[in-house]
Amino acid sequence: MTRSTLETAVAANHELFMQTGDRIESVLAEFGLTPATAQALWAIDPTEAPPSMKSLAARLYCNAPNLSFVMNQLTDRGLVERSADPSDRRSRVVALTEDGRRVRSAVIEATLALTPFAGLTDDELRQLVQLLGKALGRGGTGGPPQAPAAS
């Protein structure tokens, strides 16, 4: 192995990201989603408290204007709703609509069916999650999952 293991890992991470995005592209289009809107939709976990624009932007590594733009598309599409945070009326929290929850589930479903990771066994996946989690600095086993996700 001439390339360093670290370089290979970074390259493989990148490649898997690109391949996954490439494979779900047409599915997203069927739902009227773009990579950016799909990523944002995925990042809103309906089982958690609706995030503010600020926290969502941080989660997506984008700035506030960008998130406003993307959220406008999702609200136009009827998938999310913005409402004022009662405790701080400057802040707006974003929640999925009923339709938003359905589309989000469908997108995740399709992604899990198409991602190259689907070719790994359960044991391999658990090992992998362990290693990726450590790289992300999420402690041993049970750290709170706060990750966003695929484009």
What phi, psi does 88 have (nearest 5°)? -155, 100
The answer to whether 102 contacts a second copy (rule: CB under 8 A) is: no
The answer to whether 36 contacts a second copy (rule: CB under 8 A) is: no
The answer to whether 97 contacts DNA (rule: CB under 7 A) is: no
**Burial class of residue 56 in the structure, from the number of CB atoms within 10 Å of its CB (0-12 exposed, 13-18 middle, 19+ buried):** buried
Strands (E), 8-146: 80-85, 88-96
Residues 44 and 94: their CA atoms lie apart, in Å, by 8
Kindly tell me which of 37 and 115 has the beta carbon lying closer to a second copy: 115
Closest by CA position to 67, among listed 121, 75, 127: 75
Site string for a second copy, 108-127 (x = CB under 8 A): x--xx--xxxxxx-x-xxxx
3-state secondary structure of 105: helix
Which listed option, a second copy, DNA, none, makes contact with residue 97 (CB within 5 to 8 Å by class)? none
Which listed option, a second copy, DNA, none, makes contact with residue 145 (CB within 5 to 8 Å by class)? a second copy
The structure tokens 């695929």 sit at 150
Q: Which residues bind DNA (CB under 7 A)?
A: 34-37, 52-54, 57, 61-73, 82, 85, 88-93
Binding site for a second copy (CB under 8 A): 2-22, 39, 47, 60-61, 108, 111-112, 115-120, 122, 124-129, 131-137, 145, 147-151
